[in-house]
Amino acid sequence: MALQQVAGGCDDVQTCPGVFVEGDDVVVQGYEIGGDTRAQLTLAADETAVRLPRQLILDAARRLTEGV
């Protein structure tokens, strides 16, 4: 199933944060977090964390609740 973008963080959607829908899942693309931030998280071996602009999350949440 193809990703559908619901929110993007800049004009070049290939290289900036974005929020996508794939079926019933939400996929995020963001900036890699630094070691100090990562050390504060408990991540499983197959997990990662990314940094997203706050407004991107708000825009995505609005669009997701609108049924995009």
pLDDT for res 50: 94
Which tokens belong to 48?
A: 């990662």
pLDDT for res 22: 93
Please state the pTM of the whole predicted model. 0.79
Which tokens belong to 45?
A: 């071996």
pLDDT for res 68: 64
Contact by Cβ (8 Å): 29, 8: no
**Cα→Cα distances 1→9, 10, 20, 31, 56, Å:** 23, 24, 12, 24, 23
Q: How confident is the model at residue 13 (pLDDT cuts 50, 70, 90)?
A: low
pLDDT for res 28: 93
Q: What is the mean pLDDT of the chain?
A: 89
Contacts of residue 9, defined as CB under 8 A and 6 or more positions apart, other chains included, come to 16, 17, 18, 52, 53, 56
> With 90 as the cut, is the pLDDT of residue 43 above it?
yes
